[in-house]
Structures are given as C-alpha cells and as structure tokens.
Structure 1
C-alpha cells in the first residue's frame, strides 16, 4: 500500500513534537532536580559549617578563661595545700572566690558555675548567682566523674552535664590543674556554661518546619535538640552512630518509612556532630512543581501542535494532489488547466506555473531548439571576433612608431652630412638601422631583457648626437636577469618619456636615468627611474586613472581604423595613434595584451624628486 504524504507529514510532526517535549521535560527535570539537590545540600553544609565555626569560636573563649585561672598562684597553691589546715583552706577559698571567680563571672556572664577540686578532696565551687558553697556537693564523686571525661594527655574536655536540672541544661568545660611546685596534675578545673547561651548559635540553622537540627557528642549522646522535632531520641542516636567517618557526610536514611536527607559535620575541636535532617519530599517539592508544570504545558502544546500539523498537512497535500491529477491528464494528451482557488503562496505559484507550462509546452520546445542553435552560432562568432580584435590591436600597437622622432633623427643626420664629414653620421645611421629593423618586427611578442637594453643603447647613440652631450644611462640590471623575457618595445618609450619630460631645464651632471630589474616569487619587474622634476599629485592620479581604464578609447579608435574596408586600414590607425605616441599607455597596453590583465605598468612619482616606472611581468625562464 502506498504511503500518504499527509500521513507522513502528520507522523513526522507528531514524532518531532513528542521528542522535543519529552527531551526538554526529562532533561530539565533531571537537571533541575540535580541542581536543587546539590544547592540544598551545599546550603545545609554551609549552615552546619557556620554553626560549627561559631560554636567552636564561642567555646574557645572559655578555654582562654580557664587558661587564666590555671595560671593563678592561688589555684596552684590550693592544689598542694594541707587538707587538715582549715585556716589555709579558708584563706585560699576566699581569695579564689572573690578575686578570681568574681572577675571571671563579670567577664563571662554565660558561665554558670566554676569548680576547683584538688586530689586531696577539697573543693572550691561557686555559681554566677552567689558565692556560697554547695551544701549537697560531693567533691570526690565529682572529681572521679570529671577525671573520667578529661583525656589522659591533659587537654581540655567539653561534655554535657547530666544533673538534676535536666539533660543538656549545662555544658561542662574541664581540664587538669598542675600544682605550684610539682608539674604533675593535682586536681581539676570545671566550668559550666548554660545551654541556652548556645541555642542562638544553633537556631541559625532553621531550614523550615520539617527540618531538624541536633548535636551529638562522640559517644552518640544528644547534646542539643530543638524543642519540637519530628525525630525521636532513638532516631537521633541511631543516625549519629551511623554518620561516622570523615569530617562531613550526607546520606538519605528512611525515618518512619519516609526518606530523609541527613547532613552531618564533625567538629575536630569539640568532637561533636552537627546534624541537619530534611525530608526528601520537602527537598524535592520545587522539582515536583517544575515536573507538573512541564507535563501540563507539554500536553497542551502537543494538542495544539497536532491540530496545527493536521491543518498544515492538508494545506500542503491538497494542491499537490490537484497537480498530480493534472499531470495524469497531460500524459493522456489533455492539456487541462488547474484552479488555484486564489492562493498566493508557493503552492499557488506551483499551480500557476503548471498551467503556464501546459499552455506553452509546445512553443517552448521550439524556442529551446532555436535558442540552442543561436547560442552555438553566437559563441563561434564571438570567439572569432575576439581573436580578430586582439590581432588587430596588437598590430596597431606595433605600428605606433613616433614619426616626429624619425623626422628629427633624419634631420640630424642631414645636418651632419652637410656641415661635416665625420664618422658620427655612420654611427647614427647604423643605430637608426638597428632601431628600425627591431621596431618593424611583427612576429615576436616576447624578447629578452638584453635585446631591449640593446635597443635602448641604439636610441641613446642617436640622442647623444641630437642633444649634443655625453649623457649616459645607469644600467644596474643583475647579469642573471639579462635573459629574462619581456615585451618588445616597452623600455625605450619609458626612457624617451624621461628625456622629454623629466628634465625640462636641461640635463645637469647630477641627473640620471637608471634601469634596474628584480624578481619576486612569481613576478619579473623592470624599473626605469629618474631624478627629474617628477609629477604633481593631480597629474599622477590622472595618469594612473588612464592606465586603469586601459586606454579603451584610443584602442577602440585604432581597431576601428584597421577594420575599415575603405582603404583607411593601417594608415588611418597610425594617424590616430600618432596623437598619443607610443607613450606610457601603449607600454601598459602591450604588457597586458601579452601577459594578461594581472600585469602591466605601475607609476610612482613625487614632485621635485623624480619618477619611477615599474613593468610587472610574470616570472619566466
């Protein structure tokens, strides 16, 4: 069964839309879930680190307070006193309570009580309310209890105090005291801090009504828990025992069948675990909202897109079917037109073009054949015309010999012949003969650089006799370049131009005309330069513009004269080209005719400093 174009379009639209919606929904949900989980976990970790840091800083203050008490002589003497000396006991007790404990309570109002107990069984105890000794206080029992908490190395111990005031009512900071004479520990110092003083530090970790923040010591006992918590004491102890190892850990643990994220951080200083719990449902509630919104928007978008795809498919396939029916009729020889129903889009244009094709099919076949024949004939005629034109242009350029130069040269020869009988006449005539023979050659398009230099030398022989001085050319061409090819009759016109225009007031000893040559990676260049009067910027710009135009008008006139059938022919061309002489444009045109449009003559000049002509030609052997 042949597939329907409408069905394919509708199917493809459906697949593309579903893939787009599912791809965007799934990827966005996964990325959002992962990003929010990481963000919340980082936020919880940051809160725990902050609370831990604040708690450690807070308790370190009381460690410093205990340092000041341990360094007091009265405390050290109390450790080594005779327990039977009642007067000494009374004296040291008064000193310690009034002079030491009172200052500490003033400096640290959060201290609940301070206790000093010697190994001899005597104790000094006071709280922050009065300076009386506790009547129900048992020094030996307290000493044994605190000694069990303090590490053997004598470092400070911080632990929860279980007393009649309730669990966690105070935090005890205890350390050993050395004697006044002996370095060995002789007793202990214990400071109790009210737990409510630390609660503000821990309440900063408020993450919402479902979150719980609690603290456990290294043995797993609970140091602090909020007044309202969804966790039982057993849950807290179990989680604290499970989250061990490493400074910071996070784990999802089911509590009462509900997955809960726990993030714990252990304080290296306190050996406590700061633990925050947050239900996973609460954690992922924003992601669930994003997922629900994505599905709702996706389904609505899918329904709208499917409706648009249906209408779009029908709009496309209905005109195509009409064209197919019309083509079937055309195959049968029925040149029927189709109704476009006023459509102005591409499909309406397709129907219009089909109708135009049907109505003009036979006519177009004849036109195609005629056009093909005419095109082939035109191309042949165009190629022949181009060949004849180029040949005529080349011949016309070769005939551009300055008649004034020949006339003046012959006049000079005549004068020498009449006035004196000398060898100069022979020299001039010989040079003239070489120049004429070299100029009238028509079969050579390229010549070597040494041939052009020889032609210039013959020209200078004649010019020395005409000008009546011994002016010489400065030829600086490297010998390795003398056999390089160039266009014939291009160097002498540049030298002639320098003699005629560069030295208006005559040639002085410091004047020169230099010929040089050089090669680049793909070009062979010949330079003709002088240090004459140079050109003004306006004249230089006009000359460059004339070169860019390629002397189109002059060449067109010369070519037209050569093609005239009325006998004008080459004579007429010579008349036209004589107006401009061989000149700079002629040189530029000859180089371009031989080597192509990418080469030719370049001019650089500065008024008062001279002119430099550069003939650019391809590098050849």
Structure 2
C-alpha cells in the first residue's frame, strides 16, 4: 500500500475544504438568486397583465359608451320598428343613420383604429352596416341568423355583451363584437333590434405589444367557455391555432390568478392570467422559462468560472503552504533517523518561534543531553580500565550515566507520529488542539530530560501518563480514559522516573492490535504489602501467548543487573519492559523490578515492585 505523505494530505484537505466551501456558497447563491429572480419575474408578469387588463377595460368601456350613444339615437330606435316591407322607411332611416355615422363615428374610427365596423340589426330582418364610410347590404338569411345569435347572447336592460363572432364569415376570428339591445321608440321593448360594434383584435393587441415580453413572449385571451378570443397564432394562417377547450385553456381557467408552469408545444412556459371583471375575459401572458431564468443561468456560469479560478489560486497557495510546513518536519524526521543510528545531528532553528520551532528546540536539547551522557559513559569506561583501585566508584558512575542515557531515550517513532498529527491539525483544525498537544509534548520532554536520579512520586508519573494520553488521543482520533484506582494515600509514594508511561505505551502497541473497542480498559492500581510498594497495570487486551510469556519472564530474569561482561550485548534498546525493569533494579537493587502475568486472549497484568520507603532514596544501589 502506497504511503501517504503529509504534503499530499495537506493538499487534499485544502482541496476538500475549498471545494466544499465554494460548492456550498455557489449552490446557495444560485438557488437563492434563482428564487428571487423567479419571484421578480412573476411579479413583473403580474404587473404587465394587470396593466394590459386595465388598458383593455378602458378601451372597451370607451366603446361601450359609444355603443350606447349609438343605440339611443332616435333614428336607430325608429329603424328597428319599421315594417319589413316598408322600403321608404328603410331608405329614410338608413340615410339618417349613415349621416349620423359620418358625423360622429368617423372621428371615433380615426381615433380608435381598433373599430372594424358597426351595424344595426332589427327583428324585421333589415340591417344597416357601416364600414369605412360605406353602407353595406347583407343577405337577409345571414342577417336573420346573426340577429338571433345577438339577441340570445345580449342581456336586457341596456347591458353590453362581448361576443366572439362577426356578421361576415371571413372576419370571424379576427374581430370581437360588442353588442347592446336597442330600446324601441315606445320605451317598452328591448327585443326589436341590436346595435353591434366589431373591434379588430389585431389593432387591440397593439395595446399589449407596448409591454416587452422578450423574444418569444405573447398575450392571448380566452373566455369562460375555454374559447380563444385572441391568440397570436390565429393571425398566421400557416400555423394551426389552439382549439376551444384544449388542455391549456382548461389549466388557465382552473389556475385562477395564480402563475403556473406548463409545457406548450414542447417548450416549458410560465403563464399568468387575470380575469377582467368588465369583459369576463381571461387575459393571459406567457413567456418561456428559459428566457425568464436566463439571468440565473448567467449567475450560475459566472459563479462556476469565478469558483474555478478561486480554486486554482487556493490550491496553488495550499501547495506552497504545505511545502513550508512539511520542509522542517522532514528535516526533523531525517535527523531523528540519524539519531537512531547514533549520528547526533542538530537542526538549525532558523529563528522559528511557533510550535514546530519549540519541538526542534526540544529535539536539539535532547540530542545534546544524549550525546553528553554517552560521552560520560565512555569516559567512565576508560577511567575504570585505567584505575582498578577506583573500580567501585567507576562502576557506580557508569551505571549513573547509563541510567540517565536510558532515561532520555524516548522512542523516536512516537515523536514522528506526534509531529505528523500536530501538522495535520495545523491544517484542518483550529490552534487549540495544536496548543494542547504541544504543551503536553513539552511537559513530557521536560520531564524526561531531567538528569537528577531522585525517585519521584506516583502523582508525578500519573501526570506524565496524562500528558501522554492527551497526545495519544489526538493520534488515534478518539478518547480513551484510564481507570486509575490508586488510593489517595499512595499518591506521594516514591518510585522511579519514566517507568509507568512506557508500560501504558506498551499496552497500546501490543494489547489492542485490532483497534480500541468500548469494552477495552486499562487499570492502574497501587498497594503496600510486606514492606513492599507495588504498582499494577492491567488490561483486557489480547494477552500474551504462553510461549511468549515464558520467553519474556526468562528475559526479565536474565536482565537483572550482573557483571559488566554479561550486559555488553544488551546495552542498547528503546523504552520497554526491559528498560523499566533494569532501571528499577539500578535504583532499588536486584530484588525488585517487573513481573508479568497473562492469559492468552483475555488479559495481561504487569506488577512493578519497589521497596516501601519513608523518605526519598538517593543514589543507586550496587548490585
């Protein structure tokens, strides 16, 4: 499996954070702006249709006044009451009506180009039709048919009616007829005739064309029966217009005044309708959805472009930042590897005052102390060879130096993993976790590099374990609480420095190979018995196999302090059970040290045995 580098992880975390941030901001901005634009477009369309409805009603009311004025003309009222075969009266009133039209209607038709024609139809089958200053004659059968239609569709009492019809078949679909019944000269009968005005829909539509509806937007009108009064496609003979009562008409009628989205002729469009209280028409404005949302699409494209540019710049900065962080970490790691080989290397601190600078300073201090201790060991060995008379003192000095050297040999791999964890937090988390880990690491280093050989208290060792657990919890990514059952009266009991934490570290390395689970625990206890002080560390991990347990007990027995020649082959080694065992013996004597008991697959118990002391013990005990 390919090992991930710290720089690649920094780069990956930066990319994830940036992509998520840009994506969330971009999506939220796009959705919010789209929603706002949709609302503004809907409001704009509603304002347009309200304005068109208002203007249409104004125009129709003007024609209503004119229709009623024409219907109240005495000649018109007299015309509808003539006898069917009275040609003289027909000619007389037709001439009067024509003169009235020329005097009053011509100015109206010039002002309002929507006026197509006007006519008077009587029950007697006679009609006077005025179109562009001409009096037209129609087939009596056609007149009779239109009369019946007009009379059945127009209410009594002088109220008007707007009808989708025309007196001439060729004009149907291009005009709308406004009709009003004429009160006879006797003022008692409304069923003798009708005055009708035909209004050109194409001219009337110019009122609506004043409002900008985009390239493909348009108005249309339907009545309450679903019949199309006006539709732009009806003006083009090459295109089939909509049919009465089709799906679109039914949807418009059922939607009321609410906006709706509907796919019409393969294109999704928005429809907003308003019903005129005056004409009972449903005026509808329609615009394609893609035109309405074009500003939102522009915002989306701009957001994507800016996001990609920002991502590229941010990733470049992330790469540069990662290199600036990783470079000193790699240098520290390489120096530690050389230290493992016995090549003491110092790192230039280059004036760094941050957490990494603190770690480099602690590392340099540790290397200096280790090199000094090893030099002292060599000096003691030489002195012992030169002066046999001072063998005892030389041996004591050598053991003192070896003890201090062993005390300072902290596992470099622990530092490597800690540094990598700290720098990962430096990228993806706030500085609180970094401060906590660095402070814990500094306490551990400061505690470990002290060279005095005084026994310290159980409380000191527990505090050292606490700092170790702070760092370990960040490394494993979860919390794990130790079960400390030490009686308060034993917290000030004396013990050897750096003996408890290695046992805890050994458990995490070997007792839980498949990872920590909720059932796992580590318990630290202490007791006094038979003038002995014992500290117990117990876990419920995988345990130790019988073969390995026997070998471990044999090594503990062999590693008791003995003659110099017996220890030459075992001088090296890191912090572990043997290290702790030997250092306890160096301080208290060969009668003390570690004992291990375990049941394979269930538990392991390590007992650290030391003498019960009433005061601190100074110096080493000779073997």
Give the TM-score taking structure 2 as reference length.
Answer: 0.50
Q: Which SS does the other structure have where 1:234 is aligned?
A: coil
Report the more deviating stretch, 105-114 or 19-28. Answer: 105-114
The equivalent residue for 2:454 is none
- Structure 1's 294 and 232: CA in aligned 2 closer, same or farther, altered over 3 A? farther
Q: Does 1:198 align with 2:204?
A: yes
Q: Which SS does the other structure have where 2:170 is aligned?
A: coil
Q: Which SS does the other structure have where 1:42 is aligned?
A: helix
Specify which of 160, 168, 173 is matched with residue 156 of structure 1. 160
Mapping 1:349-498, distance limit 5 Å: 350=358
Q: Deviations over 1:452-491 (max 9, x none)?
A: xxxxxxxxxxxxxxxxxxxxxxxxxxxxxxxxxxxxxxxx
The equivalent residue for 1:544 is none
Counterpart Cα distance in 2 of 1:345 and 1:164: 97
The equivalent residue for 2:222 is 216
Q: Does 1:145 align with 2:149?
A: yes
Specify which of 110, 121, 128 is matched with residue 124 of structure 1. 128
Q: Is the 8 A contact 2:224 2:253 kept in 1?
A: no
Counterpart Cα distance in 1 of 2:193 and 2:40: 50
Q: Deviations over 1:403-428 (max 9, x none)?
A: xxxxxxxxxxxxxxxxxxxxxxxxxx
Task: State the Cα distance separating 1:61 from its structure 2 match.
Answer: 0.5
Task: State the Cα distance separating 1:113 from its structure 2 match.
Answer: 2.3
The equivalent residue for 2:49 is 48
Counterpart Cα distance in 2 of 1:329 and 1:230: 91
Counterpart Cα distance in 1 of 2:178 and 2:9: 80
Task: State the Cα distance separating 1:228 from its structure 2 match.
Answer: 6.2
Mapping 1:496-507, distance limit 5 Å: none
- Structure 1's 339 and 360: CA in aligned 2 closer, same or farther, altered over 3 A? closer
Counterpart Cα distance in 1 of 2:177 and 2:131: 13
The equivalent residue for 1:114 is 118
The equivalent residue for 1:233 is 241
Say how many residue pairs are matched.
Answer: 363
Specify which of 176, 181, 195 is matched with residue 171 of structure 1. 176
Counterpart Cα distance in 2 of 1:54 and 1:229: 28
Q: Which SS does the other structure have where 2:164 is aligned?
A: strand
Task: State the Cα distance separating 1:13 from its structure 2 match.
Answer: 2.0
Counterpart Cα distance in 2 of 1:230 and 1:170: 19
Q: Does 1:270 align with 2:271?
A: no
The equivalent residue for 1:57 is 58
- Structure 1's 230 and 194: CA in aligned 2 closer, same or farther, altered over 3 A? closer
Specify which of 254, 257, 260 is matched with residue 263 of structure 2. 254
Q: Does 1:184 align with 2:189?
A: yes
Task: State the Cα distance separating 1:144 from its structure 2 match.
Answer: 0.8
Task: State the Cα distance separating 1:339 from its structure 2 match.
Answer: 1.3
Report which of the two structures shows the higher radius of gyration computed on alpha carbons: 1
Q: Does 1:317 align with 2:323?
A: no
Q: Deviations over 1:393-447 (max 9, x none)?
A: xxxxxxxxxxxxxxxxxxxxxxxxxxxxxxxxxxxxxxxxxxxxxxxxxxxxxxx
The equivalent residue for 2:295 is 286
- Structure 1's 231 and 339: CA in aligned 2 closer, same or farther, altered over 3 A? farther
Q: Does 1:134 align with 2:137?
A: yes
The equivalent residue for 1:23 is 24
Task: State the Cα distance separating 1:122 from its structure 2 match.
Answer: 3.4
The equivalent residue for 1:391 is none
Counterpart Cα distance in 1 of 2:255 and 2:6: 65
Counterpart Cα distance in 1 of 2:218 and 2:334: 76
Q: Deviations over 1:151-172 (max 9, x none)?
A: 4665211123343434433321
Q: Which SS does the other structure have where 1:244 is aligned?
A: helix
Q: Does 1:69 align with 2:70?
A: yes
Q: Which SS does the other structure have where 1:249 is aligned?
A: coil
Q: Deviations over 1:64-90 (max 9, x none)?
A: 111222333333333344445544444
Q: Which SS does the other structure have where 1:45 is aligned?
A: helix
Q: Which SS does the other structure have where 2:242 is aligned?
A: helix
Q: Deviations over 1:226-282 (max 9, x none)?
A: 356998423784312321136423222223443232233222222222233333333
Q: Is the 8 A contact 2:228 2:243 kept in 1?
A: no
Give the TM-score taking structure 1 as reference length.
Answer: 0.50
The equivalent residue for 2:451 is none
Counterpart Cα distance in 2 of 1:231 and 1:88: 47
Counterpart Cα distance in 2 of 1:153 and 1:329: 113
Q: Which SS does the other structure have where 1:92 is aligned?
A: helix
Q: Deviations over 1:173-225 (max 9, x none)?
A: 10111122233313211112233431311322442333333223333333333
- Structure 1's 225 and 33: CA in aligned 2 closer, same or farther, altered over 3 A? same
Task: State the Cα distance separating 1:58 from its structure 2 match.
Answer: 1.0
- Structure 1's 283 and 299: CA in aligned 2 closer, same or farther, altered over 3 A? same
Q: Unaligned regions of 5+ residues in structure 1, if any?
A: 366-621
Q: Is the 8 A contact 2:77 2:183 kept in 1?
A: yes
Counterpart Cα distance in 1 of 2:100 and 2:236: 42
Q: Which SS does the other structure have where 2:61 is aligned?
A: helix
Mapping 1:544-583, distance limit 5 Å: none
Counterpart Cα distance in 2 of 1:175 and 1:21: 67
The equivalent residue for 1:295 is 304
Q: Deviations over 1:579-612 (max 9, x none)?
A: xxxxxxxxxxxxxxxxxxxxxxxxxxxxxxxxxx
Report the more deviating stretch, 48-57 or 257-266. Answer: 257-266
Q: Is the 8 A contact 1:216 1:240 kept in 2?
A: yes
Q: Which SS does the other structure have where 1:178 is aligned?
A: coil
Q: Deviations over 1:474-511 (max 9, x none)?
A: xxxxxxxxxxxxxxxxxxxxxxxxxxxxxxxxxxxxxx
Q: Unaligned regions of 5+ residues in structure 2, if any?
A: 373-445, 448-623
Q: Is the 8 A contact 1:115 1:123 kept in 2?
A: yes
Counterpart Cα distance in 2 of 1:210 and 1:197: 20
Q: Which SS does the other structure have where 2:27 is aligned?
A: helix
